[in-house]
Amino acid sequence: MRERQVQIPMEQQAFRFKEIQERPERLAPGHRMCAGCGGTIAVRNVLKALHPGDKAVVGNATGCLEVSTFMYPYTAYEDSYIHSAFENAGATLSGVETAYRVLKKKGKVTSDYKFITFGGDGGTYDIGLQSLSGAMERGHDMVYVCYDNGAYMNTGTQRSSATPMYADTTTTPSGTVSQGKPQARKDLAGILAAHNIPYVGQTTFIGNMKDLYVKSERAIYTPGAAFLNVLAPCPRGWKYNTPDIMEICKLAVETCYWPLFEVIDGRWILNYKPKNKLPLEEFLKRQGRFQHLFKPGGEGLIEAFQKEVDRRWEELLNRCEG
């Protein structure tokens, strides 16, 4: 039987950013993702949470990430990799995980593997929701990671159900007739938590990435189904200065547009509560997709958006205190 060194979970040890960053890269350089792409940052750092020496099978729904990190027969992934269709990343990896368990039971596979699949919000919130829901409901030992950039960026920045209120997209353009997308974004983390799976986490790129690393490790090493929702800004679709990505993520958290929380075995846990909650406009004004809201007449739209964010924040606080 193969001996394994016992790993101390990140949350139980002093956080060593440099040590984690020095782990071998599982997403190789040389891919074709845009400079400053949030999706790339999410994938690279989620995979850093794998313990050194552990093996993984990585799945990937069609999207920006897939077309830019994989062109048959070449892939940027150091682990085993599977490209699935837009709509079936959850089903694909759940099938692989099932086959692995059968082969291991028969003694035909002896190594331990982790199963992680990535999808953008188009392939997760929308087109792949039924596949994801089925995989989570069945309880497969896998992690689904959504890199949420709030639109169908790969095909031209069309709105998705993850697109925030009043965002300017190519299918909800701002102008004299429309003020951007009229609907609020879908609460996908809440939907997945309602599946009663062992772990759900919501995170983004903050400070030294500790929140992202800790939640990624919990998701990967929690037995059973797990879901991780990562806010992953897109400089082209969001229209902000590329080097400002970390500041954009910080503002998303400090305004409570993107709260940091976990749901562990049904228990809601708030990971961060701003000492001085910033007004939502601090997050909005840094992005070109919301610039129409700051023209005369846009005050009421910002107010409506703020009320929606406040409502969801209070709902989250009640869930975490209950």
- Burial class of residue 176, CB neighbours in 10 A (0-12, 13-18, 19+): exposed
**Whole-model pTM?**
0.93
Identify the CA nearest to 59 among candidates 125, 118, 123, 138.
118
pLDDT value at 12 more than 80: no
Q: Report the C-alpha gap between 182 and 73 in whole angstroms.
A: 42
Question: Closest Cα to residue 123, out of 100, 93, 99, 95?
Answer: 93
Q: How far apart are CA 162 and CA 183, in angstroms?
A: 10
CA-to-CA distance for 24 and 26, rounded, in angstroms? 6
Q: For residues 22 and 28, what is the distance between their CA atoms, to the nearest angstrom? A: 14
Average pLDDT across the chain, whole number = 93
Whole-number Cα distances in Å, 118 to 147, 169, 286: 7, 23, 27
Share of the chain above pLDDT 90, in %: 83
Helix (H, G, I), strand (E, B) or coil at 116: strand
Distance in angstroms (rounded) separating the CA atoms of residues 279 and 296: 19
**Rounded Cα gap, residues 265 and 29, in angstroms:** 37
20 pLDDT higher than 90:
no
Among the residue ranges 31-35, 147-151, 191-195, 203-207, the one predicted with the least confidence is 31-35
Confidence of residue 33 (pLDDT cuts 50, 70, 90): confident
pLDDT at 2 over 50: no
Given a contact cutoff of 8 angstroms between Cβ atoms, the answer to whether 205 and 249 are in contact is yes
**What are the structural domains, with CATH classification, of the chain?**
10-321 (3.40.50.970)
- Count Cβ atoms within 10 A of the Cβ of residue 110 and give its class: 0-12 exposed, 13-18 middle, 19 or more buried: exposed
Question: Is the pLDDT score of 1 beyond 70?
Answer: no
3-class SS at 132? helix
Collect all residues with Cβ–Cβ distance below 8 Å to 74 and sequence separation of at least 6.
Answer: none
pLDDT of residue 74: 85
What letters, b where the CB count within 10 A reaches 16 and e where it falls short, cover 281-313?
bebbebbebbebbeeeebeebbeebbebbeebb
Convert the pLDDT of each residue in 98-154 to its tens digit: 999 999 999 999 999 999 999 999 999 999 999 999 999 999 999 999 999 999 999
CA 204 to chain centre: 8
- Tens digits of residue pLDDT in 181-190: 999 999 999 9
